[in-house]
Structure 1
Amino acid sequence: MALAGYPLGISVQAVDVADNKIVDPVTKQVINNSLNRLIEEVDTITVEFEHIPEDLLELVHGSGKLKPSVEAILTGADRVREKKLLEKLAIDNCPFEIITEVEQLDAAVEKLGEKLIIKASRDGYDGYGQWRLQNKSQLPELKEKLSQLDLHKIPLVVEKMLNFDRELSLVAVRSSNGDIAYYPLAENLHYQGQLHVSIAPAPQVDEALNQQAKTIFNKLAESLDYVGVLSVEFFQIGQQLLVNEIAPRVHNSGHWTMQGADTCQFENHLRAVRGLPLGSTKVTSPTAMINIIGCKAFSRDMLSIPGCHLHWYGKTPRKKRKMGHFNLCADNYSELGKTMQALAEYLPVENFPMLKDEAARLIKL
């Protein structure tokens, strides 16, 4: 986000929420400044993820400079709040129950069926803080695991496991005066609860499906008086979209916009929160975003592939950590699939388990 801001003349400083130190967002070097002084000095305060201590959120909210709103951030960080908002707005989502006692799981199974996904209401992402129940025989073992948790402090959201056709997401940006610019729906492929590949624009999307996604986005954004980039994740079942999650921030499934759209999501977020005109979201080419997950090192020789762009984050490697991503651009889906096949030859299959199969699917489109 900082890199997207520099060409616009926007300087960005970051707060490490673990210790409230001020750091350079690119070099990570500590800046000799206090949090209270920084809040006074800046024009706008925004977030890049929603799992922020509530006392810190309330502090910056008090400045009147926080965009999006504290309500939007707290809703994205808490699945119970999220579910209540979806119910309030009559937006279709997975059938669910909220439980604060392990013994309530029995009633949830009777109501929702024995195939369930159980999610911690806070602090869970990328498959963390999630459990699956495939049949009733697993219930005693699962209850034993969950009995170790403080469910009054962090309730569980128990969802019916749906047989959906695919996962989609809509990333869009809303300005403070209510203008909205939509990126096209992206198709997302997950592995072990973690996003591995996004294809944008999503193949085989008609105008009715697009409009359905936009209508849901509009309801959410208007209810939250949202300013900035907001992502809505969907399950598609036939021609119906069910909301899986909302994310009040720039989103992994929108990283393709860095090469595949006229204005990337990071720049558009900064434009919105700083009161600048929103940038065009026109697609410049079909694009695949491939996450680099838990991969320590590899040759950079794949940069010889036309349309291949590497974004490396410079993080310390660990299992399931997103270390960076590739954006691949091509003239059409078939060519995009061939580019993905070429990329797969340079990468360890254990870290990119979906790449070859998805490439083969795209080539046939």
Structure 2
Amino acid sequence: MTRVAVVGGGQLARMMAPAATAMGVTLRVLVESPEASAALAAHETVVGLPSDADAVRRLLAEPRPDVVTWEHEHIPDAVFELATQMGVPARPGRDALLFARDKIAMRGRLGELGLPMPAWRPVETEDDVEAFLAVHGGVGVLKTSRGGYDGKGVRMVRHPADADDWLAAAADGGPPLLIEQLVPYARELAIQVARRPSGEVRAWPLVESMQRDGVCSEVIAPAPRLTPAEQAEAESIGRTIAEALDVTGVLAVEMFEVDGRLVINELAMRPHNSGHWSIEGSVTSQFEQHLRAVLDWPLGDTAAIAPVTVMANVLGGSREVLESAWPEVTDPGAKVHLYGKGVRPGRKVGHVTVMGAHLDDVRKRAARVAATVRDGEQS
């Protein structure tokens, strides 16, 4: 039986399980606890952390997985070494994953490829920050090179002193820092592509995402007012990155639209929040496609099923409300996904997908159902 091992016990691994079941694939997941989101859905679980060599050995032990993949980028090098020792292909590989977990490495490599990015530079001192601000309008976006997500590890700076505590932390052994130009973007977009080891690449429609306090709150697929030229440009960027960085699996490229052109913001080499719409809204979901890709199976059709699909995240709420919200969801076309996670303010604990023909109607329905699931009442 085909078996895929996954490192990481969150909702991304959890949402691989239905696709794996349909494909006849056994999903074995390394989870941090028996109550982790993915532990409630996976076929086989191993409890432990990626830093625990014994747990990783059990994840990769007989019956040996055909491949090991990841639901996040923060994978210790020792995991790749163990996979090599135990004869399990690791996809995406360590060399590719570096560019998703280290923003300085990512910016440097994409610059070598001539791809569009904000102006940027590594910074180690106040003088570095001051020099960048002087050239780029007196404001910049300071980032930690590793470990940031959902708005964490990102800070606006207008004066070198704004960076003092982060510079001190970096000098004391924390992740190095970089500063980027604050670009005047009109909207945030994302393209997802999937690539298999034999080279086949497929892309989904370009989507638009909206943020709330640094966390994605809504995704519209395809992006409104999308032209064939914009889709082709986004696909070209995604394909170039996937091929040049030797990415296997799903790659998400987050971008800004600036004066009608695309500028790359971030990379993720795994299923991504901007692609959750594809579970119901595409012929092949990002989760099925990721499994196909890492197994080097033929990739599926990525066409959108409906004219408009909207995914609305459920952010925060209360566990009691989430567990009892279903009877109050009266929209028969809404698809609700709950992640089985502990609740805290602003945390992604589920999402809602609605499809239809008219953007305004679909957005309102998705927002209304997400509010019902979060708050327990119709809004």
- TM-score range relative to shorter protein: 0.7 to 0.9
Matches within 5 A, 1:171-320: 171-285=192-306, 286-296=308-318, 297-298=321-322, 299-320=325-346
CA distance in 1, matches of 2:373, 2:294: 38
Q: Secondary structure at the match of 1:13?
A: strand
What displacement does 1:321 show?
A: 1.7
Q: Does structure 1 residue 88 correspond to structure 2 residue 112?
A: yes
Give, as a single letter, the amino acid of the residue that structure 2 aligns with 1:43.
Answer: D
Tell me, yes or no, if the aligned pair for 2:124 and 2:167 is still in contact at 8 Å: no
Residues 291 and 337 of structure 1: CA distance in aligned 2, closer, same or farther (over 3 Å): closer
- Listed one character per residue, the Cα deviations across residues 224-279 of structure 1 (whole Å, up to 9, x for unaligned) are 22221111111001221000011111110000001111111000110111122111
Which segments of 5 or more consecutive residues in structure 2 lack a partner in the other structure?
Answer: 1-15, 48-53
Q: Does structure 1 residue 328 correspond to structure 2 residue 320?
A: no
**Structure 2 residue aligned with 1:362:** none
Tell me, yes or no, if the aligned pair for 1:250 and 1:265 is still in contact at 8 Å: yes
**Structure 1 residue aligned with 2:83:** 60
Give, as a single letter, the amino acid of the residue that structure 2 aligns with 1:2.
Answer: A
Residues 113 and 57 of structure 1: CA distance in aligned 2, closer, same or farther (over 3 Å): farther
CA distance in 1, matches of 2:68, 2:368: 42
Q: CA RMSD in A?
A: 2.7
Tell me, yes or no, if the aligned pair for 2:193 and 2:239 is still in contact at 8 Å: no
- Listed one character per residue, the Cα deviations across residues 327-346 of structure 1 (whole Å, up to 9, x for unaligned) are 11113324313423643663
After TM superposition, the structure 1 stretch with the greater mean CA deviation from structure 2, 320-329 or 105-114, is 105-114
CA distance in 2, matches of 1:51, 1:66: 14
**Structure 2 residue aligned with 1:110:** 134
What displacement does 1:46 show?
A: 0.7
**Structure 1 residue aligned with 2:163:** 143
What displacement does 1:148 show?
A: 3.8
Q: 1:131 aligns with which of 149, 155, 179?
A: 155
Instruction: Quote the sequence identity (%).
Output: 30
CA distance in 2, matches of 1:31, 1:342: 38
CA distance in 2, matches of 1:158, 1:2: 38
After TM superposition, the structure 1 stretch with the greater mean CA deviation from structure 2, 109-118 or 90-99, is 109-118
Give, as a single letter, the amino acid of the residue that structure 2 aligns with 1:290.
Answer: A
Tell me, yes or no, if the aligned pair for 2:271 and 2:290 is still in contact at 8 Å: yes
What displacement does 1:52 show?
A: 1.9
The number of aligned residues is 345
After TM superposition, the structure 1 stretch with the greater mean CA deviation from structure 2, 170-179 or 289-298, is 289-298
CA distance in 2, matches of 1:347, 1:42: 37
Tell me, yes or no, if the aligned pair for 1:183 and 1:282 is still in contact at 8 Å: yes
CA distance in 1, matches of 2:341, 2:192: 25
Q: Does structure 1 residue 120 correspond to structure 2 residue 144?
A: yes
Q: Does structure 1 residue 44 correspond to structure 2 residue 70?
A: no
Q: Does structure 1 residue 7 correspond to structure 2 residue 22?
A: yes
Structure 1 length-normalised TM: 0.87
CA distance in 1, matches of 2:111, 2:362: 39
Give, as a single letter, the amino acid of the residue that structure 2 aligns with 1:13.
Answer: R
Tell me, yes or no, if the aligned pair for 1:186 and 1:201 is still in contact at 8 Å: yes
Tell me, yes or no, if the aligned pair for 1:50 and 1:76 is still in contact at 8 Å: yes
Structure 2 length-normalised TM: 0.84
Tell me, yes or no, if the aligned pair for 1:330 and 1:339 is still in contact at 8 Å: no
Residues 57 and 111 of structure 1: CA distance in aligned 2, closer, same or farther (over 3 Å): farther
CA distance in 2, matches of 1:72, 1:345: 38
Tell me, yes or no, if the aligned pair for 1:102 and 1:146 is still in contact at 8 Å: no
What displacement does 1:29 show?
A: 8.2
CA distance in 2, matches of 1:26, 1:228: 21
After TM superposition, the structure 1 stretch with the greater mean CA deviation from structure 2, 25-34 or 294-303, is 25-34
What displacement does 1:73 show?
A: 1.3
Q: Secondary structure at the match of 1:277?
A: coil
Tell me, yes or no, if the aligned pair for 1:303 and 1:309 is still in contact at 8 Å: no
What displacement does 1:215 show?
A: 1.1
Residues 211 and 344 of structure 1: CA distance in aligned 2, closer, same or farther (over 3 Å): same
Tell me, yes or no, if the aligned pair for 1:301 and 1:346 is still in contact at 8 Å: no
What displacement does 1:308 show?
A: 0.8
Tell me, yes or no, if the aligned pair for 2:355 and 2:362 is still in contact at 8 Å: yes
Q: Secondary structure at the match of 1:36?
A: helix
